[in-house]
Amino acid sequence: MKQRSRKMSEIMKEMSECLLRNPDAIHSSEAAHVALMLANIAWNKTVGLGQAIEGYRSAWETIEAENPEMRSEFSSNDVEVIIEELIEYKRQHYPDDQRRILTCGIPFGKIHVEWMDPVAPGVDSKLEMQLYGLVRTGEREQAIEFLREFQSLSQPEAAKQVKKISTDLGLELKVAGAQKTPRYPAWVAILANRIVVGDVSQCRLHRRGKFAQFLQR
């Protein structure tokens, strides 16, 4: 499939640039990350991973409070309109691509996307994404408790499943030092995942130098 052969990072860059008033200009870190976050959310919404518009608006307003000038960098400031336009763009240009975005951020100034295959028949996509998101962000104890609650697994069974997911995501190699990369995903990926699973209230904004990060309470 020609559409499927495209890198997801290229698609996210393409979609996020549609939101900016002047795509070729140098944009603030906040604007670049918010545009990418909205593209991520819109994409996942088309593959069955949606959340109420209040969550998007709340995220926008929280980030905008850190940089009020960010608003002028976007072609529109109506989050609902932005999301709907991105959804329509995805449907027109990538109608058959059902990959699900797990994390999406800009480490080292370059867009990085990690995605999952289309959901298998009979699988609850939202719960699966939440589980993988917990493992991907290093919240393994929460992932184990998640499995025990929703799949009624024993502690050893849940721990074994979390380890398998971690291996599938390539995290065991990183822990072993085989890949010299910083802790990832960045704040935008964590926030986007929280919005998908309806857990925006569990995020708060911190400032570290010139970078903003959303961290779990």
Residue range 28-46, pLDDT digits in tens: 888 888 899 899 999 999 9
HEC string of 38-87?
A: HHHHHHHHHCCCCCCHHHHHHHHHHHHHHCHHHHHHECCCCHHHHHHHHH
Percent of the chain scoring above 70 in pLDDT: 74
| pLDDT value, residue 1 | 41
Could you tell me the pLDDT band of residue 162, with boundaries at 50, 70 and 90?
very high
Q: What is the mean pLDDT of residues 104-125?
A: 90
- CB count within 10 Å of CB 45 equals 19
Q: What is the mean pLDDT of the chain?
A: 78
Q: Give bridge partners of residue 20 from the DSSP assignment.
A: 74
Specify the range with the lowest mean pLDDT, choosing from 75-79, 116-120, 212-216. 212-216
Q: Give bridge partners of residue 101 from the DSSP assignment.
A: 115
pLDDT digits (tens, 9 = 90+) for 178-217: 444 443 334 445 555 555 544 543 433 333 333 333 322 2
Higher per-residue confidence, 200 vs 60 = 60
